[in-house]
Every structure is written in structure tokens, then in C-alpha cells.
Copies of this chain bind each other. A is one copy, B any other.
Amino acid sequence: MAYTLGIDYGTNSVRALVVDCRDGGELGTCVVPYPSGTEGILLDPSQPHLARQHPGDYLFGLEKSVTGALAEAAKTPGFSADRIIGIGVDTTGSSPLPVDAHNVPLALDPRWKGNLAAQCWLWKDHTSHREAARITETAARHRPQFIAKCGNTYSSEWFWSKIWHCLATAPEVFEAAFSWVELSDYVPAVLAGVDDPRAVQRGICAAGHKALYSDEWGGLPDQEFLALLDPKLAALRDRLYAKAHDATHAAGALCPEWAARLGLPAGIPIAIGEMDVHYGAIGSGVAEGVLVKAIGTSTCDCSVVRADMPVADIPGICGIVPGAILPGFYGIEAGQSAVGDIFKWWVEGVLQGDGSTHRELTAAVSAQKPGENGLLALDWNNGNRTILVDPMLTGLILGQTLHTTRAEIYRALIEATAFGARAIIERLREYGVPIERVVCCGGIAEKNGLLMQIYADVTGCAMQVTGSSQACALGAAIAAAVLAGPEKGGYPNFPAAQKAMTSLKPVCYTPNAEAQAVYDRLYALYRQLHDAFGGVTRSADLSRVMKELLAIQQEQAR
């Protein structure tokens, strides 16, 4: 019997999971909230877009979560920590942190401890929006290929924006840093005892999606380009990395020090780090033809296409990176910038309700037919990530009468997010990405049957739910099992490991043909609004939108 360990660094806490390699059985898990800041996040009241994390929390959480998970697993007869054959790690991203020449985070040095710029720059830190815009402009002019694969827009959430913003606003920290490491690369390097940033094994997932890395142009952006931003960024390039790797590659082997701290065998392999949603996609069974949709406050949609297929740049898609999810495949990432957050806004923000309100509203409209609410909404309260890549878009609700209810608006908002999901699926298919079914993960997918049925009816795809509620950690554990290999009790490749170790919940939401036909008509109206307000169409005729909605409503109310 062999086991692997998956470690998932989320936004507020870290989770460790002990997995049985035979069937993906989960023997022990432990979640440790980060002790610093507000729910683990360091904030600055004067800078609302700032979100940092203390690297010490990662190390504290690493030891505590792993030992906790092992202690729980130990209750299972036959389990022994000696039988752990590998470790995988996933984290949020892009969450880069400045390190010294020994790969020690600056923030662990007493001199920089209290300096917010010396911490890990959490994915949702948006202080770097000016730098992001400048990078987008500079790339558009000089290196259009750099941003062609990420919707032609470089984000303020990403690696170079953040490092440049540090240089611009905290030059003393920038100067003190020998290098910068993504959190997803940092944790595996710690476990492997790597003490030189240049020796840290980098994952292509974060490198390709967030740091403009591609083998096409020889790795990271060239120095000439970086010098157009700032010569100091060009100089940093040599202290970063030359090569990034997919999940067939090891980040290293567990060093004796951490083996002792965690109570694990030294020398077991550590998988290359990936970002949470990518390992989550693996843990949910992503494969050719299977889209994995992580539905939470926002969504992240992961799909893959064989690396030997010619894949065009897909306009409006967040990223297309070879090897970013599964080795041998292009990893394709898309997403909606708000889903659960929109429902929360309506129920908690506007209606001042709570969890029971969600249930009441769901009950009130679950028997309604498509179109019966007479409403149409755009799911843009937090901008549009895919396929318009425009954060400066906002929400819209249309079709209200004097009789429209709060529950009908709730349903219209669910439908809007379903239409947004369909727009992504259609865009992917249009560019040759096969999608036959959708596997969803996240609490909403597990709990909200009304939403899942609407998604099935709107997209025309069967909607399944991933078997594990800890899909990210499971995916990291799968990567460890593949890396360890069959001779240790692992697997020769990802498809074999996924087949054995992942599962689906018994429920499957299949499209209802009648509902689908109505939603096709509503989606056409949604696209009219989407294209008009999103700037795809510059001469829209919207004069029939309200009338067609009323006509559909009247038909459906019969």
C-alpha cells in the first residue's frame, strides 16, 4: 500500500491531504488557517487594493497541516507515514515573494519583517494596475506575441506587474531582494531544501500563465523588452530562471530537515508546484473533451488539448500554456470574474439576507420555467475575464416590471452566469478545443442543484460534480503518485493515475431539451447585450430585446 500527500495553499488557509494511491481514498486531512493579518491576509487601510501574506505563515501551516493530516491518517489500520511515496503542492497564484540569495523570504529577516512590500504579494493584490497597463501597452507595441495568449491584456495580479510595483514604490525592498519566487515554486523548494533561488525548480503553470514565459521566445521575456519597462527588471532576469517545467518533473526530494519535522521518509520525490486550479483540474479528472469548472466566488475553467495539435491563439482566453495542467497537453485557462460573488451581492449586499435567504429564493423560483421571469442580466458585476477581458464592465439587469420579485432577479443572476459559462464553452469549441462534458468542483457545484440544472440547460452539456471536495489537494497528490512511479506504488502517467484516483459524485445534470430550446433564444438575446455593451458590436439593434423577452415570458407562463 502506498500513499501520497497533497498540500493545497488557499487564500486563507492551507490544507494537507493524505491519499491512498490505489483509489484516491482520503485517509486524513487537516486545515490550518494562516495566523497573521485578517483571515490570513495582511491589509493596509490606506491602500484598499493591497493584499499580502506573511511567508512565515506558510511554513507554520506546512508543518501543522501535514502532521495533523498524518495523525488523522494514522487511525486507519495499515497506514504508516513510511508508506508516503511523494508530495505534491499547489498554491494560489500569481503570488510572488522576494527572497534573498539563499532562497529565504526577505520577510523572515527581522530587518524587513514589518515591511508590506517584503511579504508575499497575494494573487488578489491589485496595487499594480498602472504597471499592468504599461506592460500591456509595451508588449502590444514591441512584443505582441507575449500577450497574444492571455487575451492581449497583462493583469495587475501577475508576476511582473507586482515586482515592478515593488521597484516603483518600495525600491529598498527590490534592491534587498536577490530574486523573486512564485509561492507554488517556493514551498516545494523549501521541502527539497533548495537554498539558491536559481536552483529552484519552476513550474511552467505559473511561469507560462503569469510571467510571460514561453519556450517559443526562449523562456522569460528578453532583457531588451524588460529594459523598456525598467533596466532594473532587465537586470533581475538573470537572477530568476531560465527554464520552467511541467508536472513530469520533480521539484526535488524531501530534505532530511523537513522529513524530520513532518515525520516523513527523507528523499521521497516532490512534484513540481502548480497553481491550485490546475492541480484541481487534475483532481477533478480533466482530460481531452472534459472541461473542469471550479465554481466559487468566481470561476476558473480548465481544459486541455493535445500538444501535437495545432492550437491557434484563442481570443479572450486567459492563457494557453503547453504543459501547464497535464504534461503533453496545452493547458487552457478561462474564467468568469464573479459567480458566487454575484449571488452573495444580491442576497447579502442588497437584500441584507443570509444563507436561509439563498434557500428561500431558490425554493421560490426552482419551479419556474426558463424565460418565465422575463428578465435578462449580464454577469459583469466584477468585470468580464473571459471572453471580453475587460475589468471595466459592470452589471446589468433588464426586463423588470412592477411585479418582478427578488427571487426572479436571483434566478436571472444565476442564468446570467450560465450564459457567461456558455460564452466560454462556445469560444473554446470555435477554436478547436473539444468539450463533451463538464465536471464542476467547489461548494456551489456540490450544493446548488438549481444552478447546476440551469447550467446544463443553458450550455447543453452534461454537468457532473467531482467526487472529492478537496480536488486541488487530490490533484497535487496525484502528481506525486505519477512522479513516484508504478514501482513505488504510484502510476506511470496522469491518465492512469486519474482513472484510479479521481471519481464523480453519483448525480449528473443532463440538459432538458425543452428548457434548452428556450435558453437558446434567451442566450441569443444575452449575446446581443454582451456584444453591444462589450464593444464587439458597434452598431447594435436592441429595439427587439425587451419585446422578445416579453414574448418568451408570455409563452412560458401558459
Give residues in A with beta carbon < 8 Å to B: 338, 341-342, 344-345, 349-352, 374, 380-382, 392-406, 409, 532-535, 538-543, 545-547, 549-550
12 contacts between A and B (CB under 8 A): A349-B402, A351-B406, A380-B546, A381-B400, A394-B401, A395-B401, A396-B398, A532-B532, A533-B542, A534-B543, A539-B541, A540-B541
Contact assessment for A538 and B541 in the assembled complex, using a CB-CB cutoff below 8 Å: yes
- Return the chain B residue nearest A393 by Cβ: B546
Measured between beta carbons, the chain B residues less than 8 angstroms from A349 are 402-406
The 6 closest A-B pairs by CB, nearest first: A395-B400, A535-B543, A539-B539, A396-B398, A532-B542, A538-B541
What is the minimal beta-carbon distance from A82 to any residue of chain B, in angstroms?
Answer: 48
- Return the chain B residue nearest A344 by Cβ: B402
What is the minimal beta-carbon distance from A542 to any residue of chain B, in angstroms?
Answer: 5
A71 CA / B447 CA spacing, docked (Å): 68
Measured between beta carbons, the chain B residues less than 8 angstroms from A535 are 543
Contact A396 B394, CB 8 Å, known A402-B381, A406-B350: no
Contact assessment for A546 and B533 in the assembled complex, using a CB-CB cutoff below 8 Å: yes
- Return the chain B residue nearest A378 by Cβ: B398
Contact assessment for A392 and B547 in the assembled complex, using a CB-CB cutoff below 8 Å: yes
Candidate in A338, A344, A400 with the most chain B CB atoms within 10 angstroms: A400
A342 CA / B349 CA spacing, docked (Å): 20
- Return the chain B residue nearest A398 by Cβ: B396
Q: What is the count of identical protomers in the complex?
A: 2
Measured between beta carbons, the chain B residues less than 8 angstroms from A534 are 543
A280 CA / B409 CA spacing, docked (Å): 38
A296 CA / B106 CA spacing, docked (Å): 65
Contact assessment for B394 and A382 in the assembled complex, using a CB-CB cutoff below 8 Å: no
A351 CA / B407 CA spacing, docked (Å): 11
Contact assessment for A405 and B550 in the assembled complex, using a CB-CB cutoff below 8 Å: no
Which listed residue, B345, B392, B402, B403, touches A402 by the CB 8 Å rule? Answer: B345
A2 CA / B61 CA spacing, docked (Å): 91
A349 CA / B402 CA spacing, docked (Å): 8
Contact assessment for A402 and B533 in the assembled complex, using a CB-CB cutoff below 8 Å: no
Contact assessment for A382 and B395 in the assembled complex, using a CB-CB cutoff below 8 Å: no
Given contacts A345-B403, A349-B406, 20 further A-B contacts (CB under 8 A): A341-B402, A345-B404, A349-B402, A349-B404, A350-B351, A350-B409, A351-B406, A352-B406, A382-B401, A392-B547, A395-B398, A395-B399, A396-B396, A396-B397, A396-B398, A396-B399, A532-B543, A533-B546, A539-B540, A542-B542
Measured between beta carbons, the chain B residues less than 8 angstroms from A351 are 350-351, 406
Measured between beta carbons, the chain B residues less than 8 angstroms from A338 are 402
- Return the chain B residue nearest A338 by Cβ: B402
What is the minimal beta-carbon distance from A380 to any residue of chain B, in angstroms?
Answer: 8
- Return the chain B residue nearest A529 by Cβ: B542
Contact assessment for A401 and B381 in the assembled complex, using a CB-CB cutoff below 8 Å: yes
What is the minimal beta-carbon distance from A162 to any residue of chain B, in angstroms?
Answer: 23
Contact A543 B549, CB 8 Å, known A382-B402, A395-B399: no
Which listed residue, B341, B393, B400, touches A397 by the CB 8 Å rule? Answer: B400
What is the minimal beta-carbon distance from A405 to any residue of chain B, in angstroms?
Answer: 7
Which listed residue, B399, B405, B409, touches A394 by the CB 8 Å rule? Answer: B399
- Return the chain B residue nearest A345 by Cβ: B402
Contact assessment for A533 and B545 in the assembled complex, using a CB-CB cutoff below 8 Å: yes
A278 CA / B349 CA spacing, docked (Å): 44
- Return the chain B residue nearest A532 by Cβ: B542
A380 CA / B540 CA spacing, docked (Å): 20
What is the minimal beta-carbon distance from A555 to any residue of chain B, in angstroms?
Answer: 15
Contact assessment for A394 and B398 in the assembled complex, using a CB-CB cutoff below 8 Å: yes
- Return the chain B residue nearest A342 by Cβ: B402
Contact assessment for B350 and A549 in the assembled complex, using a CB-CB cutoff below 8 Å: no
Contact assessment for A394 and B546 in the assembled complex, using a CB-CB cutoff below 8 Å: yes
A532 CA / B550 CA spacing, docked (Å): 17
Contact assessment for B540 and A533 in the assembled complex, using a CB-CB cutoff below 8 Å: no
Contact assessment for A533 and B543 in the assembled complex, using a CB-CB cutoff below 8 Å: yes
Measured between beta carbons, the chain B residues less than 8 angstroms from A540 are 532, 539-542
Contact assessment for A400 and B394 in the assembled complex, using a CB-CB cutoff below 8 Å: yes
- Return the chain B residue nearest A350 by Cβ: B406
What is the minimal beta-carbon distance from A347 to any residue of chain B, in angstroms?
Answer: 12
Measured between beta carbons, the chain B residues less than 8 angstroms from A532 are 532, 540, 542-543
